[in-house]
Amino acid sequence: MNLLLLEEADFISAGRVVLHDRRLAHLHEVHRAAVGDRLRVGRLGGLLGEGVIERLSAEQAELSVSFDQPPPAKLPLTLVLALPRPKMLRRVFQTVATLGVPKLILVNSYRVEKSFWQTPFLQPEAIHAQLVLGLEQARDSVLPQVVIEKRLKPFAEDRLPALASGTLGLVGHPGPYPACPRAVDTPVTLAIGPEGGWIPYEIDLLGKAGLNPVQMGERILRVETAVTALLARLF
């Protein structure tokens, strides 16, 4: 937790917050915090700043807070991701938030197991919790937007062309394709497939929407690693 991220419900007045939850436990157990300690804070959806611990007990922490710095810029990116398996999904939410992805669209794919869509990790509060962890890691205060598109075909045919219009449209896909470009200076729409990859029909669908395959070498990467590697190369 490199940033103490504050939500509206934490505020008892304009410049004062009270914490009870895992953040309080973290202050005690990891920061070994004491009254008077100064901490980096952020207001969810707002600015970053500084907090001072005014009172501290086993039950709660009260901090005075002020905000004066903008959060780090987001990447100029829309990330389209075939739904990963649940354990990976949780980490992907964190990673996406940490890396500064502003918009994540989760889609179905032939190789996504149907059971993955039943995971409790897709509940809004579970998504929110993982995104917040990722923001705290990166010292960012602005949640990525997460959109769930359970059917790939209508998404790719009806909505993706407009999303990808005016951007560099890419699909991360192993094979005899051009290498992923480096240090691009345009907005990007990037689609990353499931374990096992997109099937040819899906590559066609994405291609018609303006997304063309690029590769990262012959090694097959886990989804989380592929997301990080592609974004580090692109931006």
Per CB under 8 A, residues contacting a copy of itself are 2, 72, 95, 98-100, 137-140, 182-183, 216-222, 225, 228-233
Alpha-carbon distances of 183 from 140, 232, 235, rounded to whole Å? 22, 9, 5
Instruction: Write out the two tokens for 75.
Output: 């990447």
Nearer CB in complex with a copy of itself: 16/26: 26
CB of 48: closest distance to a copy of itself in angstroms? 11
Nearer CB in complex with a copy of itself: 153/222: 222
**Cα gap 188→124, rounded to integer Å:** 26
CB 11 within 8 A of CB 62: no
The contacts of residue 213 (CB under 8 Å, 6+ apart) are 170, 171, 172, 173, 175, 177, 178, 203, 207
DSSP state of 45: T
CB of 234: closest distance to a copy of itself in angstroms? 9
Within 148-199, where are the H helices?
152-154, 160-164
Nearer CB in complex with a copy of itself: 58/183: 183
Nearer CB in complex with a copy of itself: 155/173: 173
CB of 13: closest distance to a copy of itself in angstroms? 30
Strands 103-107 and 48-56: unpaired
CB of 176: closest distance to a copy of itself in angstroms? 15
CB of 156: closest distance to a copy of itself in angstroms? 26
CB of 197: closest distance to a copy of itself in angstroms? 10
Nearer CB in complex with a copy of itself: 59/68: 68
Over its C-alpha atoms, the chain yields an Rg (Å, rounded) of: 20
**Cα gap 219→121, rounded to integer Å:** 29
